[in-house]
Chain A
Amino acid sequence: GAGVSQSPSNKVTEKGKDVELRCDPISGHTALYWYRQSLGQGLEFLIYFQGNSAPDKSGLPSDRFSAERTGGSVSTLTIQRTQQEDSAVYLCASSPRTSGIGSEQFFGPGTRLTVL
């Protein structure tokens, strides 16, 4: 009955290093989203996975960002050669279906990334 979990909760890294952020969605949820939330800002869509379909990567800000979802469950967001402007909270959400009522997104607590 656990919700969406994310790890680590906090990550401090040096500029130029690669980081991996993990998301464990709610079991059985077919849709998975990654968002970025900068301090005091709204949610910036990054990438969306739905079942076995090709992911919607249209929100990724640069080719330094990539994500994968293995076995339709766990997802990893990778940021290569991190920059200071990558500092933000990265939120993962999952959803049991893809349209209308019931497609509510359940969010994890986020990973706070700080790039020094």
Chain B
Amino acid sequence: QQQVKQSPQSLIVQKGGISIINCAYENTAFDYFPWYQQFPGKGPALLIAIRPDVSEKKEGRFTISFNKSAKQFSLHIMDSQPGDSATYFCAASMGDNYGQNFVFGPGTRLSVLP
């Protein structure tokens, strides 16, 4: 119930292409879905987040698509750049957002080829 599944585990995209990372959850009590970006040697940093009352959120080249009925959400990176090469984590949290109620997916390592 507390798991967030994420795929693919790794992704290689050519510069200018679209990167798509998918996540799925089971617990319908989750109400906040952030994506974190982590560069080597750094801690994760919030990239973009969405609440379940909207189906899509776009910030620059990054878009979250949210399908509440399917309990799935995805990150789309348009016009992918080599600087986007990083590990991406989806996450989900609920109400009081504490401890075990803030759950991260296992991560996707993205490599964008120049």
Interface residues of chain A, those whose CB is within 8 Å of chain B, are: 4, 31, 33, 40-43, 45, 47-48, 50, 56, 58-59, 91, 93, 95, 98-101, 103-110
Is the beta-carbon distance between A105 and B98 smaller than 8 angstroms? no
Is the beta-carbon distance between A93 and B43 smaller than 8 angstroms? yes
Is the beta-carbon distance between A99 and B51 smaller than 8 angstroms? no
User: For A42, what are the chain B residues with a Cβ–Cβ distance below 8 Å?
Assistant: 89, 104-107
Q: Mark B83-114, 1 if CB is under 8 A from A, else 0.
A: 00000010001011111101111110100000
A-B contact count (CB 8 A): 73
Is the beta-carbon distance between A101 and B49 smaller than 8 angstroms? yes
- Closest A residue to B104 by CB, please name it: A43
Measured in the bound complex, the distance between the Cα atoms of B96 and A97 in whole Å is 9
Is the beta-carbon distance between B42 and A109 smaller than 8 angstroms? yes
Question: Is the CB of B60 closer than 8 A to any CB of chain A?
Answer: no
Question: Is the CB of B79 closer than 8 A to any CB of chain A?
Answer: no
Say which residue of B43, B100, B103 sits within 8 Å of A91 (CB atoms): B43
Which of A31, A95, A100 has the most B CB atoms < 10 Å from its CB? Answer: A100
Size class of the B contact interface (CB-based, 8 Å) = 20 to 34
Question: Is the CB of B46 closer than 8 A to any CB of chain A?
Answer: yes
Say which residue of A40, A98, A108 sits within 8 Å of B98 (CB atoms): A98
Is the beta-carbon distance between B96 and A99 smaller than 8 angstroms? yes
CB distance from B105 to the nearest CB of A (A): 7
Is the beta-carbon distance between A109 and B49 smaller than 8 angstroms? no
CB within 8 Å for A58 and B100 given contacts A100-B31, A108-B43, A109-B42: yes
User: For B103, what are the chain A residues with a Cβ–Cβ distance below 8 Å?
Assistant: 45
Question: Is the CB of B45 closer than 8 A to any CB of chain A?
Answer: yes
Is the beta-carbon distance between A107 and B45 smaller than 8 angstroms? yes
User: For A59, what are the chain B residues with a Cβ–Cβ distance below 8 Å?
Assistant: 99-100
CB distance from B97 to the nearest CB of A (A): 4
Is the beta-carbon distance between A101 and B51 smaller than 8 angstroms? yes
User: For A50, what are the chain B residues with a Cβ–Cβ distance below 8 Å?
Assistant: 98
Which B26-59 residues have C-beta < 8 A from chain A? 31-32, 34, 36, 41-46, 49, 51
Is the beta-carbon distance between B41 and A109 smaller than 8 angstroms? yes
